[in-house]
Amino acid sequence: MSELRWDPLIDSWVVIAESRGRRPADFITERKRIVTTVCPFCYGHEDKTPAEVYALRPDASRPNQPGWRVRVIPNKYPMLRIEGQLDARGEGLYDVMNGVGAHEVIIETPDHDRHPADLHATELAQVFRAFRSRLIDLRRDKRFRHIVIYKNHGLEAGATIPHTHSQLLALPILPPHLRTALRASRDYFRRKERCLMCDLLAQELHDGRRLVRVDDAYAVFAPFASRHPFSLRIVPRRHSHDFALLTDQAMITLGETMHDIMGRLRAVLRDPPFNLVLHNAPSALPRPGRSDCWGSLSCDYHWYFELTPKITDPAGFEGGTGFFINPTPPEDAARYLREAVV
């Protein structure tokens, strides 16, 4: 029997089409390989990228030279450009503004052939430190409302360079998905004086059927209304609205969780392409005339990562209705991942 399920955080309905009962083996196909000639992210090619804006250099080597462990550079082909003013304006009923923002690349390791699932917790923690540093720096720019950090792994998930990296976009507007989640979190907090994600987490820990992994600091579960097979949320167990508040030690613990989860996905789905997105609080800039922003943000919003394997193609139904059809119930996905031998 199929089920329609609702996710209160993102106000989204999904069809869990259990009769289709897709198992991991049904999603395993020949993964496409990305072909490159000269990799601009490797040691010795620092001059092939724009000048770095951050680098972790334990040996105190010079900028834009080898010696870094993590390196952040502006994207050579940016979606949005850092220079200029927004110049927001109306065109009849439509709204227009200049494509101002920041688009950066976080190169996660100097090693061209490292699979993200093979980065150790301490290496991942170094990547998270780069995220934190860039978040803090870019939030000073009052033109940017929100900073989204994401990773595309594999050609089918949008990666064009195989050398493992993440990307950052500083945006002059709030993405509609975030706006929905912010509103849902705030409304829930107003009614109950509790955080929606904290309550969801407590329920998932109690229920257990969708849990993949839990330790003292993080829980990983397949969302009740997962829009895609094997998608996962990685959630800090202690309430926090802002990833940038994480301590170095908490980043190592997060690295352990991330390392374990990526290993499980690789084992169960044989190196699936995936997207990993950090869902974090927006920049709490003053909003003239909007007294509802951001008074309760630190109480009502709860950051998390969402990891989505790109193993199904959205059909016309998804595009036309915004409904998603997921052929693998999240309870089954969580069980496969729990039982994975890494």
Enumerate binding residues for Zn ion (CB under 5 A): 39, 41-42, 112, 163, 195, 197-198, 239, 302
Q: Which two tokens stand for residue 316?
A: 């016309």
- The residue (of 201 and 325) whose beta carbon lies closer to Zn ion is 201
174 or 198, CB closer to Zn ion?
Answer: 198
DSSP letter for 100, please.
B
How far is residue 45's CA from residue 48's CA, in Å, rounded to a whole number?
5
Distance CA 175, CA 239 (A): 23
Number of other CB atoms surrounding residue 200 within 10 Å: 21
Q: How far is the CB of 188 from Zn ion (least distance, A)?
A: 10
- Minimum distance, C-beta of residue 107 to Zn ion, in the bound complex (Å): 8
> 6: which strand partners?
13
Name which of 179 and 192 has its Cβ closer to Zn ion. 192
209-245: burial string, b at 16+ Cβ within 10 Å, e else: ebbbbbeeebbbbbbbbbbbbbbbbbbbeebbbbbbe
Question: Smallest distance, Å, CB 143 to Zn ion?
Answer: 29
CB of residue 277 vs Zn ion: minimum separation in angstroms? 18
Please say which residue, 27 or 301, places its beta carbon nearer to Zn ion. 301
Strands 218-221 and 232-236, by their bridges, are: antiparallel
Taking the complex as a whole, the smallest distance from the CB of residue 8 to Zn ion amounts, in Å, to 13
**274 and 153 in contact (C-beta within 8 Å)?**
yes
Measured in degrees and rounded to the nearest 5, phi and psi for residue 125 equal -60, -35
Q: How far is the CB of 192 from Zn ion (least distance, A)?
A: 12
Question: What six digits make up the tokens of 202?
Answer: 């407590």
Nearest residue (CB) to Zn ion, 24 versus 282: 282
Nearest-angstrom CA–CA distance, 10 and 181: 5
CB closer to Zn ion, 23 vs 112: 112
Q: How far is the CB of 328 from Zn ion (least distance, A)?
A: 28
Cβ atoms of 3 and 15 within 8 Å: the answer is yes
Smallest separation, CB 111 to Zn ion (Å): 8
- CA separation (Å) from 144 to 14, 79, 171, 174, 242? 32, 14, 5, 9, 16
Q: Which is nearer to Zn ion, 236 or 330 (CB)?
A: 236
Which is closer to Zn ion, CB of 133 or CB of 296? Answer: 296
* Separation in Å, CA 338 to CA 245, 271, 312, 330: 29, 17, 21, 12
Three-state DSSP class for 142? coil
